[in-house]
């Protein structure tokens, strides 16, 4: 009885395995063309062809900004002009995955340092609070030290795109 059961089991296993190889041969025959096409596409694909020109991206002006109209007295037209973005430094003082907590820290930092501008930067899945628009690392270091004195001991300087601000000063006057 056991021998009959064992032989029957072996026959079933062999039949089952032989049917799978036929199916595998049929399916693999259809994929060779697909894999050849994919291999050819991958060798010809250049991701850099899809990169946006960064200078164009950061300096683009909307069509509304390029049109200069003189509004009449009865019409008050206010255009929001985005500042030019350049490479610079900011000081990161906080990061969290909670949006509400990040906004609260931004408001707290803004109240402590009203002369500085703070930003919430989303870098999935983290919200980062960064402050300042500094052209040099030395300028950013001053804010970093001031933040450390006010309780933000883990603040550090990060390279970032910043708003190009007009130069400060009296324009050469003494």
| pLDDT digits 0-9 by tens, 65-111 | 444 445 555 455 555 667 788 999 999 999 999 999 999 999 999 99
Q: Answer yes or no: are the C-beta atoms of 106 and 92 closer than 8 Å.
A: no
Nearest to 129 by CA among 109, 150, 149: 109
CA torsion through residues 10, 16, 17, 19, sign: positive
Residues of the chain with confidence (pLDDT) below 50: 62-69, 74, 169-174
What is the pLDDT at residue 168? 55
CA distances for 18 relative to 15, 27, 41, 71, 172, angstroms: 5, 15, 35, 83, 90
Which DSSP state fits 47? G
What is the pLDDT at residue 54? 59
pTM over 0.85: no
Q: Answer yes or no: are the C-beta atoms of 111 and 99 closer than 8 Å.
A: no
For 85-163, CATH number out of 3.30.70.1070, 3.60.130.10, 3.90.870.20, 3.40.50.2300 equals 3.30.70.1070
């Amino acid at each position: 009885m056991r021998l009959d059961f064992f032989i029957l089991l072996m026959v079933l296993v062999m039949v089952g395995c032989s049917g799978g190889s036929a199916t595998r041969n049929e399916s693999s025959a259809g994929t060779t063309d697909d894999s050849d096409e994919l291999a050819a596409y991958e060798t010809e694909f250049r991701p850099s062809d899809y990169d946006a020109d960064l200078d164009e991206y950061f300096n683009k002006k909307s069509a509304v900004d390029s049109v200069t109209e003189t509004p009449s007295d009865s019409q008050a037209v206010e255009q929001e002009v985005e500042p030019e973005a350049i490479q610079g430094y900011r000081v990161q003082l906080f990061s969290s995955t909670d949006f509400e907590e990040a906004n609260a820290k931004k408001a707290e930092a803004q109240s402590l340092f009203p002369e500085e501008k703070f930003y919430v930067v989303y870098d999935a899945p983290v919200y980062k609070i960064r402050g300042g628009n500094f052209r040099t690392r030395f300028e950013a270091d001053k804010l970093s030290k001031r933040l450390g004195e006010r309780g933000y001991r883990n603040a550090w300087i990060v390279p970032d795109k910043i708003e190009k601000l007009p130069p400060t000063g009296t324009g050469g006057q003494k």
